[in-house]
Amino acid sequence: MNSKEFSLIIEALRKDKRCSYMDAVVLYCEENEIDPSTVGSMINKSLKEKIKIEAQELNLLKDKSKSGKLPI
Q: What is the pLDDT of residues 11-57, one digit of tens each?
A: 999 999 999 999 999 999 999 999 999 998 999 999 999 999 999 88
Q: What is the pLDDT of residue 18?
A: 95
Q: What letter would DSSP give residue 58?
A: T
Q: What is the pLDDT of residues 39-51, one digit of tens each?
A: 989 999 999 999 9
Please calculate the CA angle 21-46-26 and round it to the nearest 5 degrees: 25
At 29, the amino acid letter reads C
User: What does R_g of the chain's alpha carbons equal in angstroms?
Assistant: 14
